[in-house]
Structure 1
Amino acid sequence: MPKYTTPRTLFGRRLREARLRAGIPQDKLGVLIGIDELSSSARISRYENGTHEPPFVIAEKLAAALGVPTPFLYTSDDELAEVVCGFAALPPAKKAVLIALLDELSGEAKSGARTAP
């Protein structure tokens, strides 16, 4: 197993997490988003290690190739990152149900109503 340095940025940590979950090597990921094969591994490594942060359009391509929503790569909250992935995987009808439930729950929180833990 390759030895990785700890990512210095949130984006790098999320990118590496998503790439490892997807089981895609750095060089293949780079090629999938259109980076030249000879430099793809080095570019992805720089993004993961925090040496460089990609432009947003590249982040969108990385997220699409890894099967995660782009916001996943930017959220600092681990629970929110999981919610973002779960929401993205839902069909439209279930997204609407979840949004309605969130509206209801946030309304309760704003009004000071107590909810069960």
Structure 2
Amino acid sequence: MLSTRLKAIRKLRQLSQEQLAHLVGIEEASASTRISQYERGVHEPPYKLMIKIAKVLDVPVAYFYADNDELAEIILKYHSEKKR
């Protein structure tokens, strides 16, 4: 779930894997590869990195760890309404 949500929100924010990696401080040599592995579910990013990714993508970190898609959508909705 984390992997598919990461990919979907990154694309929604119109960022490439390389751009996202750069914005969260992943070294350039492995930037695109690491994000790709996270999005394919090959590896799970460390929680501290997910906090950075969530900030860059402007979503709560809880969105990535929600048990189901319905809860994830509720988290996003709450986040966007809270910002108003």
What's the counterpart of residue 19 of structure 1?
Answer: 10
Q: Tell me the distance in 1 between the aligned counterparts of 2:17 and 2:45.
A: 15
What one-letter code is carried by the residue in structure 2 that aligns with 1:74?
Y
* Bigger helix fraction: 2
What's the counterpart of residue 35 of structure 1?
Answer: 26
Q: Tell me the distance in 2 between the aligned counterparts of 1:22 and 1:76.
A: 23
Taking structure 2 as the reference length, the TM-score comes to 0.90
Q: Tell me the distance in 2 between the aligned counterparts of 1:74 and 1:61.
A: 14
Q: Tell me the distance in 2 between the aligned counterparts of 1:19 and 1:55.
A: 17
What's the counterpart of residue 69 of structure 1?
Answer: 60
- Equivalences, count: 84
What's the counterpart of residue 51 of structure 1?
Answer: 42
Structure 1 unmatched runs, 5+:
1-9, 95-117
Q: Following TM superposition, where does structure 1 have runs of at least 4 consecutive aligned residues deviating by more than 6 angstroms?
A: none
Structure 2 unmatched runs, 5+:
none
Q: Tell me the distance in 2 between the aligned counterparts of 1:76 and 1:48.
A: 17
Taking structure 1 as the reference length, the TM-score comes to 0.66
Aligned residues of 1:14 and 1:74 also touching (Cα < 8 A): no
Instruction: Pick the structure with greater CA Rg.
Output: 1
Segment of structure 1 superposing worse, 80-89 or 21-30: 80-89
What's the counterpart of residue 89 of structure 1?
Answer: 80
Identical aligned residues as a percent: 38
Task: Give per-residue Cα distances to partners, 1:49-69, cap 9 Å, x unaligned.
Answer: 111101100011111111111
What one-letter code is carried by the residue in structure 2 that aligns with 1:48?
E
